[in-house]
Amino acid sequence: MKTAFGFILILCFTREVFASNSLIDLKIRKEALEKSKVKSSKKDANLEQEIRDSFFDPDYDYSQFTGRVTDRDDTNSLVKVISENGNIKFFRSGDPLRFKLANQETNYCRGFVRSVEKNYFVLYVQDITKCWAKNEYFRRGSLLVFDAKTLAARVRDASTYRIVLLKRRRDFFKQLNDVNHFVWSYEQQKMKVAAEYDEKITKLRQAKQKALDMLITKKQDSINLQQELGIRLDQLDKDIEFYRIDKDDPKIDRWHLDHDLGKPVAKRPNPNFFAR
C-alpha cells in the first residue's frame, strides 16, 4: 500500500515538472518569435537605405580613379597597382584601360588588366614610353590616374544587380520569418487544429447519436405498426372468408338433379338409404 501511494506521488510530481517545463519552453518560443519579427522589420526598414546606397549616379565619372605602383618587372610591362577604389574588384582579365602619371601633362598609356585581387590589380602595358620617358626610371609608389570605360559600365550593371539582390534578400528574410513563425508557434497551431477537429468530432458524435436515436424511435414505431398490421390482416382474412361466394353443386344429395337429367333413379329417395 505504501509503495502504491509513493508511486502516485512520484507520478503527480513528474506531471507538474513536465507542465512547468512546457510553460518555460512556450515562453522561450514566444520570445524568439518576437525577436525574429523585430529583426525582420529592421531589415525591411534598412532596405530603402541600402538601395539608395546602390544608386548609380549618372553625373559621376566612375571610369576615373587613381592608384599607386607597388611592384613592376624590369621591362615595365607588368605593373602591380594598389588602389583605394573598391570598384576595381569588377575588373576582369583582359579589360582595357588607359593611365598616366598624376599632375603631369603626358599622354595616356594603354594597358590591359591581367589579374585582380583585393585592393590590387596587375596591368600589362603595351608601351610605357607613351606616358613615361624612355630613359627615366619608373618608380614604385608613383601615383597613376586611370581611365577605364569598361569599369564604368560594370559599375552601372553592378548597381542594378545589387538592387535585385537586396530585394531577393528581403524576400528570403520574409520567407524565413514565415518559417520561424510556423516553427515557434507550432504548439499553438497544433492546439488550434486539435481543437477544430475535436469540435468536428463532437458534432459528428452528436449526429451519430441523433441518427441512432431516430433509428430506435423508428424501430419502436415499426414494432407498433407490425402489431397493428397483423391484427388488421387477421380481421381481413375473416372478412374475406365470410364474404366467399359458394356455388350450389351438391355431390351426395343430388337425386333431384339426376331425375331432371333423365338418370335412372327413383322419384323419391329410398327410405332405407338414410337408415344405413
| 207 has a pLDDT exceeding 60 | yes
| 37 has a pLDDT exceeding 60 | no
What is the tally of structural domains in the chain?
Answer: 2
Q: pLDDT tens across 59-99, in order?
A: 788 889 999 999 888 877 889 999 998 889 999 999 999 98
Residue found by looking up cell 544587380 in the block? 161
User: Of 150-154, 188-192, 244-248, which range is least confident?
Assistant: 244-248
DSSP code for 61: -
Contacts of 46 (CB under 8 A, 6+ apart): none
| 7 has a pLDDT exceeding 90 | no
Q: What CATH number has the domain bearing residue 81? A: 2.40.30.230
Q: How confident is the model at residue 17 (pLDDT cuts 50, 70, 90)?
A: very low
Q: How confident is the model at residue 227 (pLDDT cuts 50, 70, 90)?
A: very high
What's the chain's average pLDDT?
Answer: 78
Answer whether residue 86 is part of any domain.
yes
**200 and 143 together in one domain:** no
More confident residue, 52 or 213: 213
| DSSP track, 225-245 | HHHHHHHHHHHHHHHHHHT--
Select from 124, 147, 170 the last residue of a domain: 147
Answer whether residue 117 is part of any domain.
yes
Strand partners, 97: 111
The pTM of the full predicted model, rounded to 2 decimals, is: 0.52
What's the N-to-C CA distance of the chain in angstroms? 101
**142 and 198 together in one domain:** no
**137 and 78 together in one domain:** yes
Answer whether residue 47 is part of any domain.
no
In this prediction, residue 231 carries a pLDDT of: 94
Answer whether residue 8 is part of any domain.
no
In this prediction, residue 120 carries a pLDDT of: 93
Is the dihedral angle over the CA atoms 71, 74, 75, 78 positive or is it negative?
Answer: negative
* Domain region containing 216: 194-244
Please give the Cα distance from 38 to 28 (Å, whole number): 16
Select from 126, 147, 168 the last residue of a domain: 147
Answer whether residue 275 is part of any domain.
no
